[in-house]
């Protein structure tokens, strides 16, 4: 495992602030949005569709504190762009949007360095003000929208209307199903690549967005008896946006990275990590809502207890509780993180969600990769894909 301490020179202009929102292209946006609300504790925020004058694509926006997901579907037959994307990829992440400052500088630099601009700088306006944005192509069919908010005061973006399910109707008050699940923001988004495609994507982030390497592992460190991976985490200068880039490494059998690439039809977003400051409460609430997670073997916790006896770190949480919930722990001398992974969020074994809590630890669970891989390999075997 390598942690990179050198951020490189500060960019002369342009600043990346944080994840702004994540856009999913799905077969049924209304139902997908409802699923994420029901299972993960998101709540309806905004809407665009036929009732708001948007005739081609419907958008359902859901939010949990600073984590915003947008689910989109076509409204009419014959939308070839959506149809081809859905046929190839199934439900998945189409765009990962970043909030930025000095959009003009960022886009001009990207153009000079050869980026493919899917949508040049444009401005949208409503009664709350205006927002400027542009969209760049990254790996595969995934894109990054750069959003310059400025003084915009609306709840999301211009010309989105309050979601029809966010307020009660005239005859009844909408019952609340469970409590919010404690998600605070998007911690990181992971991109899976085919074998030998990780480095070109890493170099794209370095060249086009002026990101730098933050953390990495290779297949000597991350492997099981059957499979392995390599990963490099890219981040902006302020280190507020983390984008791990993974690729499979040769193994005896098919790795979960390769399984993703085959079922997604190429590179794309493997998982989104949602940050919480109380993972035990979050997972209890999500489990009560019916969300299902990967199960860690009991031997993992037996080994963990033995290792922690000689460690400087002191875990505040009850280990019995963590074991019962299958929450994993990774640590160093300075702190630790707690993490858990859902099963795939759709029928194809592609995108899943991670819930993570950090206690003075900025890693990505390298110490848990073996346990995670073994749990995923059990699922792969059940699917006939190991």
What pLDDT sits at residue 267?
98
Residue 271 known to bind ligand: yes
What pLDDT does residue 172 have? Answer: 47
Helices (H) and strands (E) in the chain, counts: 9, 18
Per-residue pLDDT tens over the stretch 327-351 = 999 999 899 999 999 999 999 999 9
Write out the H or E segment, with its range, that includes residue 32.
helix 29-40
Q: Which two tokens stand for residue 285?
A: 């609430």
pLDDT at position 78, please? 96
Residue 180 exposed, middle or buried by CB count within 10 Å (0-12, 13-18, 19+): middle
DSSP state of 223: B
Contact 70, 60 (CB under 8 A): yes
Lowest-confidence region among 84-88, 197-201, 246-250, 292-296: 246-250
Q: Residue 265 pLDDT > 90, yes or no?
A: yes
354 among the known binding-site residues?
yes
pLDDT cut 90: percent of the chain above it: 77
CA distances from 269 to 18, 36, 235 (A): 17, 17, 16
Q: Give the per-residue pLDDT at 377.
A: 66
Global confidence as pTM: 0.93
271: closest CA among 251, 300, 242? 242
Residue that is written with structure tokens 């280990």 in the block: 319
């Amino acid at each position: 495992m390598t942690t990179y301490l050198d951020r490189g020179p500060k960019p002369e202009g342009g600043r990346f602030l944080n994840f702004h929102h994540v856009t999913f292209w799905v077969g049924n946006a209304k139902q997908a949005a409802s699923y994420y609300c029901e299972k993960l504790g998101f709540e309806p925020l905004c809407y665009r569709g036929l009732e708001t004058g948007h005739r081609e694509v419907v958008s359902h926006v859901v939010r949990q504190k600073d984590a915003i997901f947008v689910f989109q579907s076509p409204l009419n037959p014959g939308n070839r762009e959506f149809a081809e994307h859905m046929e190839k990829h199934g439900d998945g992440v189409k765009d990962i949007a970043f909030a930025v400052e000095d959009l003009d500088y960022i886009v001009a630099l990207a153009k000079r360095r050869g980026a493919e601009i899917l949508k040049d700088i444009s401005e949208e306006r409503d009664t709350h003000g205006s927002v400027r944005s542009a969209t760049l192509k990254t790996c595969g069919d995934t894109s990054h929208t750069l959003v310059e908010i400025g003084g915009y005061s609306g709840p999301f973006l211009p010309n989105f209307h309050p979601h029809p399910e966010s307020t009660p109707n005239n005859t009844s008050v909408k019952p609340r199903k469970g409590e919010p699940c404690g998600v605070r923001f998007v911690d990181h988004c992971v991109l899976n690549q085919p074998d030998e495609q990780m480095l070109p994507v890493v170099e794209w982030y370095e060249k086009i967005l002026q990101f730098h390497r933050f953390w990495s592992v290779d297949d000597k460190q991350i492997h099981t008896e059957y499979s392995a991976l390599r990963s490099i985490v890219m981040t902006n200068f302020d280190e507020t946006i983390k984008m791990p880039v993974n690729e499979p490494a040769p193994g005896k059998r098919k790795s979960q990275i390769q399984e993703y690439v085959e079922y997604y039809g190429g590179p794309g977003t493997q998982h989104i990590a949602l940050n919480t400051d109380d993972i035990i409460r979050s997972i209890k609430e999500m489990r009560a809502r019916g969300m299902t997670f990967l199960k860690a073997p009991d031997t993992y916790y037996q080994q963990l207890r033995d290792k922690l006896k000689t460690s400087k770190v002191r875990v505040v949480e009850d280990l019995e509780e963590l074991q019962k919930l299958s929450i994993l722990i990774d640590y160093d001398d300075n702190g630790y993180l707690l993490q858990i992974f859902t099963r795939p969020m759709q029928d194809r074994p592609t995108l899943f969600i991670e819930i993570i809590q950090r206690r003075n630890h900025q890693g990505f669970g390298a110490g848990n990769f073996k346990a995670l891989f073994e749990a995923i390999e059990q699922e792969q075997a059940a699917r006939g894909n190991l």
